[in-house]
Amino acid sequence: MSDAAQPTAAEVRAAAEAVKTALDRHLAAVERRSGDEDPAVYEAFNQLAAAAETYDELLYDRYDEVTPFEIPGDDSLPPYTGPEEPNAISVIIRRDYAVAEPQRLLAQAQRVEAADSEAVLGTAEGTSGTAHGAIGILFGEFEPDEIASRHKEFGLEEGDSTLWVTAADEPADPGEWLDAPFEHVDPERVVCRFDVSAVFDDEDDELDDDLDEDEDLDEDDFSAPLDEEDLEPLDANDR
């Protein structure tokens, strides 16, 4: 960063003061909290995290120093503030795939296109001759759940996926949100969510490895058979 773009000492000092204020506000909210999911505590936590992150960045830019604090990422949802008895729900799904085998993807799309319109297989003139065209054909032909269960047949490799169920006061009018379907998702109205990620598998593998190490230790230290020469008869005085 150039000297001209560096924050001033006064800006760093102001950011430090903001952290102190946010700390006091957070402690006060904790002391007054009404329950485990008090929204005031949640808001104060976010303000403290933002103030600390700003201070850390300015401190580094100005003095090339860092703080000992690490602001954890918050993967949890905020407290639910939606209706207790929703009159409508929205199910929001995201699934990621890598195109692992493009030729398999194209071949599957060409089969579908040939069956539907008797297109000439293998030509680039059909919609199935391009990867994005093939994807459009397959997702137009098969339900997303079927593609998820048969993704390998289509040359796809699963990535992360998530499903959110959000509550609404009233059902949306027909066509109301189609132009921007994901724009107005309110995290505070999420009733439940379900996440799938390889990250969780890695954590399970680490746990299994730890358990295996413990099992190996138990077997080595406590389960080894004894030889006869290791057994000595008890002396009468030892009884």
Q: Are residues 39 and 58 in the same domain?
A: yes
Please compute the mean of the pLDDT values over residues 51-67 and round it to a whole number: 91
CA distances from 134 to 36, 71, 94, 148, 224 (A): 49, 43, 20, 16, 60
Residue 234 falls within a domain, yes or no?
no
What mean pLDDT comes out for the span 60-81?
76
Domain count, the chain: 3
Predicted confidence band of residue 206 (pLDDT cuts 50, 70, 90) = low
Tokens 């005085």 belong to which residue?
A: 237
Q: Do the domain assignments include residue 177?
A: yes
Q: Are residues 92 and 175 in the same domain?
A: yes
Q: Is residue 187 part of a domain?
A: yes
CA dist 175 and 104 (Å) reads 35
Tokens matching residue 164: 């959110």
Q: What is the pTM of this model?
A: 0.51
Domain span at residue 26 reads 3-63
Distance CA 45, CA 23 (A): 9
Confidence at 225, pLDDT banded by 50, 70, 90: very low
What digits encode the pLDDT tens for the residues 188-199?
888 888 888 887
Q: Are residues 85 and 173 in the same domain?
A: yes
Segment 178-202 shows an average pLDDT of 85
Structure confidence at residue 89 (pLDDT): 93
pLDDT 10s digits, 83-119: 888 999 999 999 999 999 999 999 999 999 888 765 4
- pLDDT at site 163: 92
Q: Are 92 and 37 in contact (CB under 8 A)?
A: no
Please report, for residues 172, 185, 192, the alpha-carbon distance to residue 91 in angstroms, rounded to integers and kept in the order given. 13, 11, 10
Judgement on whether residues 191 and 89 belong to the same structural domain of the protein: yes
Residue 79: partners with Cβ closer than 8 Å, 6 or more residues away: 37, 38, 39, 42, 188
Do 132 and 53 sit in the same domain of this protein?
A: no
Exposed/middle/buried for residue 100 (C-beta within 10 Å: 0-12, 13-18, 19+):
middle
